[in-house]
């Protein structure tokens, strides 16, 4: 596999830097696409901590993009500081996917990624997501149509296969490469497995060995050392999903390890600060941003959204994962889930992260110890 060498973001000069088409990544560590989670605010915060070579948006409907649906276009928004940014789309119709790729290109994104991994019936039943893996010829025709329609790189994210008797990622990866894909990511589980069992990184490494385009791997990196270990398996890059929701510093820590440094320490205050900044960024979405900072589709009206409820729901969703890496995390989760206002959320964050000796937290710890 062709690799170039250059100085990277927190990664030493000897570490290969990946190119996806003409897009150069300064680190091989990537924020995985996660529906409902990897919104622009979250991506920006992870990026600011360093070590992140690429961010991928939540999956966006090709149908909605082509029809110019506001909600859909909102998912495809990104900000200048996230670059390089990959926008992931889903769908199964070659013409519509090609037209959607043109919308993404028009938005100025660096890469358009195709979801061939989503096992959720709502997506898969529309001949999209992982069900494309069951029709490899058709899947390749989708990529062929997109690659012809746009100049930006078209990439594919797939699973190991549909089920144990159809682990066809090696075949499909080759087909999409031949059809014009500039890179492939494989989450080493089947659709039937969903998130059970563990990701098959030897399958991913085998595909990386076979293909001439970059192959990235995804699955089960919770510790920074696992990210490094997986990179050593021969892939060009590693996507981190749930691990980055638990610990948004994991990519920076992996870059520290690659550079031969001790991974940076993350304090309780750092963790609290992350949530404070996340709330602030969500509240400020689209408000007083300088021209050219946020990339939106021309057709989308620019009103600020009514957002208190939306921000609370976003915090609840993140804390379901984020609380897993923290002492007394379930306490945080319960309290955030019960919060009904932004002020209440701020008070909870302040008490939990900035005043850990507070009576509420202390009594909870004592109660937990007594169990």
Token output for 366: 């004592």
- How far apart are CB 34 and ligand FMN at their closest, in Å? 4
**132 interacts with ligand FMN by CB under 6 A:** no
**37 interacts with ligand FMN by CB under 6 A:** yes
91, 241, 248, 272: which one binds ligand FMN (CB under 6 A): 241
Token output for 178: 């031949």
Task: Name which of 115 and 168 has its Cβ closer to ligand FMN.
Answer: 115
**74 interacts with ligand FMN by CB under 6 A:** no
H or E stretch at 298: none
Stretch that binds ligand FMN, among 113-121, 295-303, 330-338, 342-350 (CB under 6 A): 113-121
One-character DSSP codes across 199-264: --HHHHHHHHHH-SS-EEEES---SHHHHHHHHTTT-SEEEESHHHHH-TTHHHHHHHHHTTPPPP
H or E stretch at 153: none
85-90 and 60-61 strand pairing: parallel
Applying CB under 6 A, what is the total number of residues that bind ligand FMN?
22
Q: Is 29 left (phi over 0), alpha (psi -120 to 50) or beta?
A: beta
218, 226, 253, 323: which one binds ligand FMN (CB under 6 A): 218
- Residue with CB nearest ligand FMN? 241
User: Closest Cα partner for 25 from 71, 86, 113, 70?
Assistant: 86
State yes or no: cis peptide before 164, omega within 30 of 0.
Answer: no
Stretch that binds ligand FMN, among 42-50, 207-215, 240-248, 281-289 (CB under 6 A): 240-248
**219 interacts with ligand FMN by CB under 6 A:** yes
In Å, how far are 36, 50, 52, 305, 336 from 340, measured between CA atoms?
20, 33, 33, 18, 9
**62 interacts with ligand FMN by CB under 6 A:** no
One-character DSSP codes across 17-51: E-EETTEEPS-SEEEPP-TTT--HHHHHHHHHHS-
Task: Name which of 39 and 105 has its Cβ closer to ligand FMN.
Answer: 39
Instruction: Quickly list H helices, 50-120.
Output: 62-67, 70-75, 94-106
**51 interacts with ligand FMN by CB under 6 A:** no
The number of beta carbons lying within 10 Å of the beta carbon of residue 121 is: 10
- How far apart are CB 108 and ligand FMN at their closest, in Å? 21
134, 138, 167, 242: which one binds ligand FMN (CB under 6 A): 242
- How far apart are CB 315 and ligand FMN at their closest, in Å? 15
**CA 210 – CA 206 distance, rounded (Å):** 6
**144 interacts with ligand FMN by CB under 6 A:** no
**CA 273 – CA 335 distance, rounded (Å):** 18
**34 interacts with ligand FMN by CB under 6 A:** yes
**118 is a catalytic site residue:** yes
Task: Name which of 56 and 312 has its Cβ closer to ligand FMN.
Answer: 56
Contact 132, 92 (CB under 8 A): yes
Token output for 225: 């050392």
Q: Which of residues 325-344 bind ligand FMN (CB under 6 A)?
A: none
**33 interacts with ligand FMN by CB under 6 A:** yes
**32 interacts with ligand FMN by CB under 6 A:** yes
- How far apart are CB 116 and ligand FMN at their closest, in Å? 8
**31 interacts with ligand FMN by CB under 6 A:** no
Q: What residues does 116 pair with on adjacent strands? A: 158
Binding mask 147-176 for ligand FMN (x = CB under 6 A): ----------x-------------------
- How far apart are CB 104 and ligand FMN at their closest, in Å? 15
Give the interface with ligand FMN as residue ranges (CB under 6 A). 32-37, 58-59, 88, 115, 117-118, 157, 187, 218-221, 240-243
Q: Annotated catalytic sites, by residue?
A: 118
């Amino acid at each position: 596999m062709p690799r170039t060498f250059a100085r990277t973001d927190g990664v030493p000069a000897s570490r290969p830097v990946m190119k996806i088409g003409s897009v150069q990544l300064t680190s091989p560590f990537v924020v995985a696409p996660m529906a409902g989670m990897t919104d622009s605010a979250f991506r920006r915060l992870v990026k600011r901590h360093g070590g992140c070579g690429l961010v991928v948006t939540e999956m966006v409907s090709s149908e909605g993009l082509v029809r110019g649906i506001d909600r859909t276009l909102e998912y495809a928004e990104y900000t200048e500081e996230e670059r390089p940014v990959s926008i992931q789309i889903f769908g199964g119709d070659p013409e519509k996917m090609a037209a959607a790729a043109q919308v993404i290109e028009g938005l100025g994104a660096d890469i358009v990624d195709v979801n061939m991994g989503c096992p959720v019936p709502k997506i898969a039943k529309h001949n999209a997501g992982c069900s494309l893996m069951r029709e490899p010829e058709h899947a390749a025709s989708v990529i062929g149509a997109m690659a012809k329609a746009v100049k930006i790189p078209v990439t594919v994210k797939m699973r190991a296969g549909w089920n144990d008797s159809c682990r066809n990622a090696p075949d499909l990866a080759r087909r999409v490469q031949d059809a014009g894909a500039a890179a492939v990511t494989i989450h080493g589980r089947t659709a039937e497995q969903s998130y059970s069992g563990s990701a098959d990184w030897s399958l991913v490494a085998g595909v990386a060995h076979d293909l001439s385009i970059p192959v990235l791997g995804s699955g089960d990196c919770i510790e920074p050392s696992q990210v490094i270990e997986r990179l050593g398996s021969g892939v060009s890059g590693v996507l981190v999903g749930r691990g980055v929701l638990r610990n948004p510093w994991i990519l920076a820590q992996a870059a520290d390890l690659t550079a031969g440094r001790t991974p940076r320490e993350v304090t309780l205050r750092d963790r609290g600060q992350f949530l404070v900044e996340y709330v602030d960024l969500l509240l400020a979405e689209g408000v007083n941003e300088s021209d050219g900072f946020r990339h939106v589709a021309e057709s989308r009206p620019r009103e600020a959204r009514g957002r208190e409820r939306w921000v609370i729901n976003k915090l609840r969703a993140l804390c379901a994962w984020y609380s897993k890496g923290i002492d007394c995390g379930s306490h945080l989760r319960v309290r955030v889930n019960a919060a009904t206002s932004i002020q209440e959320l701020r008070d909870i964050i302040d008490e939990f992260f900035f005043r850990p000796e507070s009576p509420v937290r202390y009594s909870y710890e004592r109660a937990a110890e007594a169990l």
